[in-house]
Amino acid sequence: MPGNWYLASYNYKFNISHNSHFLKKLKDKKVVGNQCSGCNRVFFPPRLVCGKCLVKPDQWVDLRETGKVATFAIVYLKDSETGEIQEKPTVLVHQDGSDTAIITQLNPEVDFKDTYVGMPVKIHWAENRTGGLMDIEYYDVLEDDAEDMNSTKD
Amino acid sequence: MGRQVAIASAGFSEHASKRSDVNMAELVSEAVEDCLKNAPGVEFDDIDAFVNGNMPAFEGSNLPELWMTDWMGARNKPLLRVTTGGTTGGTVAIAGYYTVAAGLPKVDTVLAIAFEQQSQGDTSVGLGSVAYGEISVLNTMGIPYDQLSRLLSAGAAIGVAAYQATNYMRKTHITEEDLARVVVQNRRNAAKTWWTHLKMPDLTIEEVLDTPYISYPLRYGMVCPASDGACAMLFTTEEKAKGMCDIPVYVNGVASVANETAVLGYDGSGSGQIDPSDQLGAMKSSELAYYQAGISFPRKEIDYAEVYSPFPNQELMWVEKLGLFEETTAPKMYETGVTSLKGELPINCSGGVNATNAIGASAMERPAEAALQIMGKADNQVPKTVHTSIGHGWGGSLNLCTLMVMSDEPQRKWR
């Protein structure tokens, strides 16, 4: 007996009021995170409550546009029209100055074989920014000038 | 202070990708029968209470414990259902332990049952319903659904494992060959156990590496199957266990510790774990359970380990995080045969989750198999005498780790 659950019909309500400042800043090409006054951790994107200290992070911190690839996986997706299998890295980026990693994507022109943990990346802003997470269209890859790159990159 | 708890018996149903010859209730009944067969003196009347659980929504039927009470033998008896996603089995076993340890009057013997019949439902729909609450917040924050599905196709169970794998491989400088070696050991072990799903006695590393990628660096041949199956464990008091079986297995430490959400984080706010292979929950749970069991040197004192490893990189990661090997040395141990059946510290001689994965039951099959190894009743019995063993479980986006430490003698230090 085939069945289906229409997930899109679920109506979840979220309090994202703590994000409004962050989303507004994204529209102006600025990256901010909020900082917990208890443990000094910086959250990007912002969190409503710090899970460690159970206090509301109340301080806004400016962050750089750069970050590092914290980890990555390569997704193999079949194009529904051409049937061609595309290989694309999906990455978690650790933004410089923050203490959390965010799931995002890399520049589609990057060859997936070149991805590695610790790769420096920089935000590529979307043309039309609407004040949402998609304002960060993807991350561009920066030149890696670290000396130990050759010994650690596998 | 709680009573000393012992495991008198453990049993399994046969596992396969589609057990269409039985329905869910009959599947559970198979495991219960096998469990009682291992403890000949026990009748249904001797069992005082029941704990059961499975992964909700994975088989598409609601509240299965209510309509299968008779098949478990739980009519007119206390019945409790516990579910914690991928670790359900581990949590059910721990709930069985708690029920006996509490020392309630007239509750001495508890049957814990975990089951899953995935072929009846749609796993991805079930997983979607679990993850939906988490991902829809990203939609509220401005990511359209078509983009989300692309991002999250690496965010399901395999995605989390792939993230762990890339970081683990970076840390230890291992190759895919090392991952394939773990798979080969598991599947060959599974071939010697009657209830397992993927029995591949002649699998080679080349064959594993010849399969296509599902999500780099994990290949199709390295990934766990989706099985139908059930597992049952009989928990009882120290005194009663002596009358039920030859070698009672004493539960000396249990722990279940949750870590921060894996990939998405709370309300889509990102992961607090920068390094996904840095599993704090496993380290904390092992610290607690070993302390309860009075184990100071897990590497020396533990004779057998069953770890929850749907993917080979996780097996390498867990044995290190649970304190069985030094950090980054696990791949070497698999290469030199320390973890094989005749090695110093055999791991997953039942084939582990990598060969059999009935999600709700998997985390209970680990302590169940570890207990059978102490009793000497396991199918793929290790040749050396097993005094202390551990059964580990992991699951859920919250990174919940469950651990049960068992031994052939009771632990009274902290009582």
pLDDT in tens, B80-139: 999 888 889 999 999 999 999 999 999 999 999 999 988 887 777 777 666 677 777 777
Nearest by CB to A14, from B147, B151, B267: name it. B267
* Band of pLDDT at residue B149, cut at 50, 70 and 90: low
pLDDT digits (tens, 9 = 90+) for B362-379: 999 999 999 999 999 999
Chain B CB within 8 Å of residue A104 CB: yes
Q: Does A97 touch chain B (CB under 8 A)?
A: no
Q: Point out which residues pair with B347 in neighbouring strands.
A: B305
| Interchain proximity A76–B265, CB inside 8 Å | no
Q: Say how many residues make up chain B.
A: 415
* Chain A residues with CB-CB distance to B259 below 8 A: none
> How far is the C-alpha of B183 from the C-alpha of B180, rounded, in Å?
5
Check B267 against A47: CB less than 8 A apart: yes
- Candidates A84, A73, A67; CA nearest to B263 is A73
Measured CA to CA, the distance from residue B74 to residue B87 in angstroms comes to: 23
CA gap A113, A70 in Å, rounded: 16
Least CB–CB distance from A7: residue in B132, B143, B214: B132
Cα-only R_g, chain B: 20
Q: Which residues pair with A92 in a beta bridge?
A: A71, A103
Based on its alpha-carbon atoms, the radius of gyration of chain A, rounded to whole angstroms, reads 18
Span B294-344, pLDDT tens digits: 999 999 999 999 999 999 999 999 999 999 999 999 999 999 999 999 999
How far B272 CA sits from the closest chain A CA (Å)?
5
Contacts of A86 in chain B (CB under 8 A): none
pTM: 0.90
Q: Is B167 exposed, middle or buried (0-12, 13-18, 19+ CB in 10 A)?
A: buried
Polymer length of chain A:
154
Q: Which residues contact B294 (CB under 8 A, 6 or more apart)?
A: B252, B411, B413, B414
Report CB contact under 8 Å: B141, A45.
yes
pLDDT reported for residue B208: 94
What is the nearest CA distance from B397 to chain A, expressed in angstroms? 14
* Nearest CA-CA distance, residue A40 and chain B, Å: 13
Confidence check: pLDDT of A6 > 70: no
Percentage of residues in chain B having pLDDT higher than 90: 63
Disruptive mutation site among A14, A16, A63 for chain B (greatest number of B CBs within 10 Å) = A14
Taking phi over 0 as left and psi of -120 to 50 as alpha, with beta for the rest, B142 belongs to left
> Around B41, how many Cα atoms within 13 Å sit in the side-chain half-sphere?
9
Q: Residue A134 is nearest to which of B132, B147, B159, comparing CB atoms? A: B147
Query: Contact at 8 Å (CB) between B200 and B191?
Result: yes
Sheet with A42-43: strands ordered across: A42-43, A31-35, A59-63
Q: Phi and psi dihedrals of B71, rounded to 5?
A: -75, -20
Q: Let me know: does B394 contact B87? Beta carbons within 8 Å.
A: yes
**Interchain CB contact of A39 with B (< 8 Å):** no
Dihedrals phi, psi of B252, to nearest 5 degrees: -105, -15
Distance from CA of B151 to the nearest CA of A (A): 6
- Does the structure show a pLDDT above 70 at A153? no
Which chain A residue shows the shortest CA-CA distance from B263? A103
pLDDT digits (tens, 9 = 90+) for B378-405: 999 999 999 999 999 998 766 889 999 9
Residue of B nearest to A93 (CA): B274
Q: Which residues of B touch A47 (CB under 8 A)?
A: 265-267, 269
Interface check for A80 against chain B (CB to CB < 8 A): the answer is no
Helix axes B280-293, B312-321, angle to 10 degrees: 50
Contact B269, B137 (CB under 8 A): no
Position A74 confidence tier, pLDDT thresholds 50, 70, 90: confident
Mean pLDDT computed over B192-217: 91
CB A17 within 8 A of CB A24: no
Cβ neighbours of A99 in B, within 8 Å: 272, 274
Residue A117 C-alpha, separation from nearest chain B C-alpha, in angstroms? 7
The one-letter code for the residue type at B141 is M
Give the H or E element holding residue B355.
Answer: helix B352-355
Per-residue pLDDT, B406: 94
- Whether residue A8 and residue B271 make contact (CB cut-off 8 A), yes or no, is no
Peptide bond into A45 cis (omega under 30): yes
Minimal C-alpha gap between B145 and chain A (Å): 10
Residue of A8, A14, A101 with shortest CB distance to B270: A101
Closest CA to B348 of B132, B178, B185, B108: B185
- b/e per residue B116-128 (b: at least 16 CB within 10 A): bbbebbbbebbbb
Within 8 A by CB and 6+ apart from A110, the residues are A89, A141
Write out the two tokens for B95: 């709930």
The DSSP line for B135-153 is HHHHHHTT--HHHHHHHHT
Rounded to 5 degrees, φ, ψ at B208 are -65, -40
CB contact under 8 A, A118 and B265: no
